[in-house]
Amino acid sequence: MNYDRTPFETDKPGEECGVFGAYDFDGHDISSSIYYGLFALQHRGQESCGIAVSDTEGPKGKVDYYKDMGLVNEVFDEERLNRLHGNIGVGHVRYSTAGASNRENAQPLIIHYIKGTLAVAHNGNLTNAVDLREKLKYSGAIFQTTIDSETIAYYIARERVQTKNVQEAVSRTMDKIEGAYALAVMSPRKLIGARDPYGFKPLCIGKRDNTYFLSSETCALDAVGAEFVRDVEPGEIVTITPNGILSDKSHCLPAEKQGRCIFEYIYFARPDSRIDGINVYSARLLAGRFLAKDSSVDADIVVGVPESGNAAAQGYAMESGIPYGTAFVKNNYVGRTFIKPKQSSRESSVRVKLNVLREVVKDKRVILIDDSIVRGTTSDQIVNMLKDAGAKEVHMRISSPPFLWPCYFGIDVPERHQLIAYNHTVDEICKEIGADTLGYLRLERLPEMVNGLGICTGCFTGNYPIPAPKDDIRGEYEA
Ligand code: SF4
């Protein structure tokens, strides 16, 4: 399977970031493991990436790092990896929202300070970054980047001067920062992972022989041959040292207050990942089953829009007894540098990427499953392609509720007025995309999809686990 998110998949919420960390207690170089980990997390961010490593037996301030714009396999080659020496390290893949997609904002962020060096990799968005940054500026801080992750790094470094150890500095930083974050922090002798109290972003721990890992998703642990140890709990700080894993749960909230981003399960995460005990593929399968129960229609075949619609389509087929089929062949070689066809030309980005298997859909009543409709700019083309290929009817089913509100927690969602469900009824959207019928997943089904875990449903309801910031901070300071 291919999980690239190519530039013309413009009708999806924008991806976020991925973090990965490793600590080899036997002292071997760890950069190649971080490389493979990041490679498995590439779907979480394709604009820039970086790796920072250090030697826990070496001089305290020495960090080897490299970061740049591009995919993991474009930025790193064997020679570059061989120049990164150290048995502890963190890595990052990044997607940026509007504006500052440049090299200086690539992560991990490296900070040299009185206690040595910190490297910070962050996934998420702080909702009070603007305020915190102003405060820091007034106290003399000079910022090198326009990302909110730098605020986190500054606070950790600042607090570390006053605290016994770095994990306490992370804890005090968590007292100040608000919003969504999963962090992998490398101090000279410790690897630290932390997750915001709501658990918006995933983070887990893995182990291979004498090496421990932190990763945004379990698929990256599999890629490096590590066993899954456990998830970092929402609000937990884990400190990985040769003497064991220390855990600080002083920021944890009761389960009912937690707010994992449900879009991780619907679309962002890889289907082979498990987040907080729930396999992403199984959650998508269940969403499809719910659609079949709540929004059934007579048809001859169920198909998914690749890739993230496929699992829900399989679930729909299982529940309804209508055969599952593959209607689309995807061109896997469309990369970031793909030149988008001009609007006026007959070529279409969607058609370049997806082609229909006519023989599968001709003269059939087709149920088409996709994970979301954001602006509604590609669904009409996909429906048209099926009809052009001879489908008698196209019934569209969406494995999430209508997208109505922005996200402030690190997901790139267009302005409200650009969301098709904001100013159209379901019937109007159905007409606009040219489908025969249209059905969305019911809101009440979301917690069931993840076995009752505490989730954020803000983009469907406008009710966020933490109050939305007064000013629109999206695009101001980024993750
Ligand atoms: S508002 Fe939506 S996209 Fe943003 S964190 Fe909540 S569920 Fe995820």
Q: Is residue 76 in some structural domain?
A: yes
Match 């945004």 to its residue by tokens: 216
Which has more confidence, 376 or 226?
Answer: 226
Structural domain for 21, as ranges = 17-258
Specify the pLDDT at position 340: 67
Mutate to test the pocket of ligand 1, among 262, 268, 416, 460 (most ligand atoms within 8 A of CB): 262
316 CA distance to ligand 1 middle (Å): 24
Which has more confidence, 339 or 467?
Answer: 467
Q: Is residue 198 in some structural domain?
A: yes
Whether residues 391 and 293 fall in one domain: yes
Specify the pLDDT at position 4: 42
Q: Does the model's pTM come out above 0.95?
A: no
Confidence band for 8, pLDDT divided at 50, 70 and 90: very low
Mutate to test the pocket of ligand 1, among 266, 275, 407, 472 (most ligand atoms within 8 A of CB): 407
CATH number at residue 444: 3.40.50.2020
First to last CA, the chain: 28
Whether residues 328 and 243 fall in one domain: no
- Given the DSSP bridges, would you call strands 365-370 and 393-398 parallel, antiparallel or unpaired? parallel
Whether residues 217 and 294 fall in one domain: no
Whether residues 201 and 302 fall in one domain: no
Nearest atom of ligand 1 to the alpha carbon of 259: 6
Nearest atom of ligand 1 to the alpha carbon of 460: 2
Q: What is the mean pLDDT of residues 383-403?
A: 97
Q: Is residue 216 in some structural domain?
A: yes
Specify the pLDDT at position 99: 39
Taking every pair of C-alpha atoms in the chain, what is the biggest distance, in angstroms? 72
Q: Domain count of the chain?
A: 2
Whether residues 183 and 221 fall in one domain: yes
Whether residues 86 and 183 fall in one domain: yes
201 CA distance to ligand 1 middle (Å): 10
Specify the pLDDT at position 134: 85
Q: Is residue 264 in some structural domain?
A: no
Q: Is residue 476 in some structural domain?
A: no
Question: What does the pLDDT look like over 324-351, one tens digit per residue?
Answer: 999 999 887 776 666 666 666 566 778 8
CATH number at residue 111: 3.60.20.10
- Is the pLDDT confidence value at 300 over 80? yes
Which residues approach ligand 1 with their CB closer than 6 A?
A: 13, 200, 261-263, 407, 409, 411, 456-459
Q: Is 415 exposed, middle or buried (0-12, 13-18, 19+ CB in 10 A)?
A: exposed
- Is the pLDDT confidence value at 444 over 70? yes
Whether residues 325 and 208 fall in one domain: no
Q: Which residues have CB under 8 Å from 42's CB, separation 6+?
A: 3, 4, 18, 71, 72, 93
Whether residues 284 and 254 fall in one domain: no
Q: How much of the chain, in percent, has pLDDT values that exceed 90?
A: 73
Beta carbons within 10 angstroms of residue 389's beta carbon: 18
| Residue 185 main-chain phi, psi, to 5 deg | -120, 130
Q: Are 188 and 117 in contact (CB under 8 A)?
A: yes
Q: Is residue 12 in some structural domain?
A: no
Q: Is 308 annotated as a binding residue?
A: yes
Q: Helix, strand, or coil here: 13?
A: coil
Whether residues 241 and 112 fall in one domain: yes
Catalytic sites, residue numbers: 17
Whether residues 331 and 224 fall in one domain: no
